[in-house]
Structure 1
Amino acid sequence: MVYTLEYKTPKSLLNKGMGFLSGYSHSLNPYTGCSFGCSYCYVRQMPVSVFRQQPWGTWVDVKQNAADVFRKELYRAKSKGPVTIFMSSSTDPYQPAEAKEGITRSLLEVMASNPPDFLLVQTRSPLVKRDIDLLLQLGDRVRVSMTVETDLEDIRKHFTPGTPSIEARLRTLKLLREAGVPVQATIAPVLPSSEAFPAKLLPIVDRVCIDDYFMGDGSGGKRTRSLGIISKYQAIGLEEWYHPQAYRKVYERMIQVFPAKNVWISQKGFEP
């Protein structure tokens, strides 16, 4: 994916946890925009994207000097009560720009020296393994939630051609877990997958979260529907997977292999 970078100096980093993220005190986005450009991303329908001239996925704003701003905000927030952070809600903190810019790492360095009560890192990028040293410093106050919507690489390429391979994500989960970093596999949104999916996850994680457009896009699926995402399913003859009950198929498969208490549904699976 070809994208342009712009450098912005933010006035604030921490946003109040609301709606789907009401289980958190704050959300944190190291970047605005995301070059992964996933076809179904609900952020495409949010003001941050709608009022931009360039298509979603072709631009990224880098929040320079973010660590300095965040350090002060985190100190203030902790003085008022427990701080739980979801990183990130409208971007991927480990999208390609992070390899050079290091904004996410700079924020983790701040948290390593002044830990929040809990941090969830939501990503689909193997780059997260670069920061194992900092994640380990947070101990059980952190969980890395790796998006693995499917186990089928052709499905991944159809819906999200600009993202890392499924195999690379699974290898990263395994590496993180072996290093001692708490992890979960997040099947969100549910995409068509095989019956073998649970068996592929079992040696790698002990916690799975399942979510879909209808539960997870913050509007009962309306944002995603307005993107015309159904056409992506029709193109491959798998419309039955675009349905409010499609997640049940994946859930039933998972609990044949995982203890039911380790398979979480939607909002609860993302919470601290």
Structure 2
Amino acid sequence: MQPSIQKRTSRSILTKGSGFLNGYSHTLNPYAGCAFGCSYCYVRRMPIALFREEDWGEWVDIKENAVDLVKKEIPKARKKGEVSIFMSSSTDPYQPIEFKTDLTRGLLKAMVEEMPDFLFLQTRSPLVTRDIDLLKKFGKKVLVSMTVETDLDSVRKIFAPSAPPIAGRLKALQTLRENGIPVQAAVAPLLPCSEHFPKKLAEVTDRLTLDDFFMGDGSGGKRTEQLGIRKLFEEAGLEDWYQRKAYLKIKKRLQAFFPDSAIYISQEGFSPPEEGEYK
């Protein structure tokens, strides 16, 4: 089912960072809504989704004046201090409509001219590789974080059937890294995976963050419970994975392939890197 698409004029595009993302001066969402419609997305329980008549995943609003706004708002924000941007906190900047709009690409072009002090680019789409030419211009002022919550596409189809296949995401990470762009894999939220998952990640990235429903949904797992995710685990016979300590088993496996300094847990993996982390 294709989502309904609407164009909107926004009053502003940079939102003050807060809560889970309080390490950033601002968040930036080029779209409202997300066609990937992942079953576990915490945004489903936020006002932007709760007060729409359409279900999450069935609508996308294009912030058509976003590029003009960011050109004005970054210089203004810089007068108050460093500008660190998390893109995006409640949508995917590379969801399917981006193929047509080039809105995220336009924002990157604008930010090359009005460079923030740091840009964290969160996505689960291989389309991000389209913009390698622009991402290179950020140097070490960017980190592309690719969501890879499992290595099993059969599991991905249970929880996020409209999201890009896992193989494409792993390939995108590899391509970005080969082009000198800082990357991390975001195993967030952790879904059931194979024992080979850590090795697959080590082949495409030097850094990852590990998160689950209990640490990362902003409410200690309450939002996830309200979404009925436990039932999906139970129906698939995967209920052993739906527990607070499941991530520790995967962390131990990851430590066989990554140094502890490369494994971040929950919020720390989504925070701006410390100065000197990238050499």
TM-score under structure 1 normalisation? 0.99
Q: CA deviation at 1:224?
A: 1.1
> Is it true that 1:109 corresponds to 2:109 in the alignment?
yes
For residues 229 and 36 of structure 1, what CA distance do their matches in structure 2 show? 16
The amino acid across from 2:102 in the alignment is G
Matched position secondary structure for 2:140: helix
Q: CA deviation at 1:20?
A: 0.4
1:52 alignment partner in structure 2: 52
Q: CA deviation at 1:245?
A: 1.2
Q: How does 1:71-86 map to 2 (within 5 A)?
A: 71-86=71-86
Q: How does 1:23-102 map to 2 (within 5 A)?
A: 23-102=23-102
For residues 133 and 65 of structure 2, what CA distance do their matches in structure 1 show? 22
1:80-106 Cα shifts (integer Å, max 9, x gaps)? 100111000000000000110111111
1:128 alignment partner in structure 2: 128
Q: CA deviation at 1:28?
A: 0.5
Q: CA deviation at 1:9?
A: 0.7
Matched position secondary structure for 1:80: coil
TM-score under structure 2 normalisation? 0.96
1:182-217 Cα shifts (integer Å, max 9, x gaps)? 000010000001110011111210001001111111
1:215-256 Cα shifts (integer Å, max 9, x gaps)? 111111111110111011001111111111111111111011
Task: Give unpaired runs (5+ residues) of structure 1.
Answer: none
Query: Identity over aligned residues, as a percent?
Result: 57
For residues 50 and 193 of structure 1, what CA distance do their matches in structure 2 show? 31
The amino acid across from 1:58 in the alignment is E
> Is it true that 1:11 corresponds to 2:11 in the alignment?
yes
2:275 alignment partner in structure 1: none
Q: Which runs of 4+ in 1 moved over 2 A?
A: none
C-alpha RMSD of matched pairs (Å): 0.7
2:218 alignment partner in structure 1: 218
> Is it true that 1:140 corresponds to 2:149 in the alignment?
no
For residues 20 and 241 of structure 2, what CA distance do their matches in structure 1 show? 23
1:20-52 Cα shifts (integer Å, max 9, x gaps)? 001111111000000000001110110000000
Task: Give unpaired runs (5+ residues) of structure 2.
Answer: 273-279
Q: CA deviation at 1:2?
A: 1.6
The amino acid across from 1:93 in the alignment is P
The amino acid across from 1:198 in the alignment is P
The amino acid across from 2:83 in the alignment is V
Matched position secondary structure for 1:122: strand
The amino acid across from 2:263 in the alignment is V
Q: How does 1:159-198 map to 2 (within 5 A)?
A: 159-198=159-198
2:277 alignment partner in structure 1: none
